[in-house]
Structure 1
Amino acid sequence: MLAAGEVPRHLGPMASSPPLRAAIIPVTPFQQNCTLVWCTRTMRGAFIDVGGELPRLKAAAAQAGVTIEKLLVTHGHADHCGGTAAFAKELDVPIEGPHEDDRFWIAGLKEDGPRFGIDAMPFEPDRWLVDGDTVTVGELVFDVYHCPGHTPGHVIFHHAPSKLAQVGDVLFQGSIGRTDFPRGNHADLIASITGKLWPLGDDTAFICGHGAMSSFGHERRSNPFVGDSVLARG
């Protein structure tokens, strides 16, 4: 089981050999948490949310000794997937995710990216994801949950045996995703968090799209937007 402090923000040795290892590599001017996850049995891995800075990502995979077999995407914002098309072409690997409701975001990446200092290109995923899908990385199996609100097609990836989730911009340590973007919806976001994330368990650690890790239990106790006591008052 991985606890919140056991997934490093950089690559380095770990005392044990769990089936899943992960490293967080912040990229783009928005310091978006691109996550390298890999199967320790096969040493095959995937990057989740390739926003950019591809040489840094290649170096991280090489340092870990990981062969990248696919790219996963939580949602269509440029800081999360602006570099996905170029990286997939360079590595000759497939792209999986997000949900097709984010197609309009991905189609506009070439125009949106430069406004935020990101070199972004649109792409067509090899596989759009829906709620209830699974994705594999080596021998690891991640459950996919469709969590709209921040964007309509946002998905998250959960590895149940490790009690670890990558939640993109749905939930943060002490905050939640913005909903003032086109087709964002605050009520949908709250429903995604309480209906999809909380049932995964208080002891589930999560990597978010920006900033430090946390756990669902910690956020239920203390998050000023979706904590249990806050929602009870609402």
Structure 2
Amino acid sequence: MAKMVKKSVAPFYLVAALWLGWALLLPLYRPLHYVLAGVASAIVFVLGKAIWPNKAYQTPDPEPGAPRPEAKAEEPGAPKPEKKTTGDSELDKLVEQKDLALSEMRRLNEAIEDEKISAQIDHLEDTTAKIIQHVVENPQKRSQISRFLNYYLPTTLKLLNAYDRMDAAGVSGTNIDGTMGKIETMMDTVVAAFDKQLDALFGDVAMDISTDITVMENLLAQEGLSGGMRAGGL
């Protein structure tokens, strides 16, 4: 059996009532007044404890191996939630890198107040997600974004972190103003570079579509189906 003690709150209510009544009926603007009120509070608290003492009770000990009350018992045979994976450890690392990068971009976006930089971070977050997701769905293109992952993305986050720290410094100076200005100018180039990286991933798709269009145009011309309607039909 475990012994538990339930503390009485009545004495605290009595002391609170005393201070309220004292403030309404008696003076409370000199040190002596506060001393007298404190002595009266102590007396009232002791009397309250005597009238409404703490209550002790016992609870049965839990059976060996039984789950604790706050722990939710799992249903027998219920599957445990598993972290989603792609089945490829390298792609899983890529997804994790994407999640970390996007999380950092969101944090920086909340911290940086400049509207233009904030809009650019929004654009970079969306483009980064599309770049990495496209490679996850097309693993054969993984090598095309190696420099993007190993240099462009981390360097961009480094620049934005530096901008955030300097902006938070709240002072103006040659080094701070000059560096922040360079980063603001560089961000236009960074946004364009991220867009080009995404566009480059669709190079093979564009080539295939272009080939399909050329073949279809030639077949339509051979069948007389291009250049207008045929007599008596389409």
Q: Say which structure is richer in strand.
A: 1
Q: Specify if TM > 0.5.
A: no
TM-score, normalised via structure 2 length: 0.19
Q: Say which structure is richer in helix.
A: 2
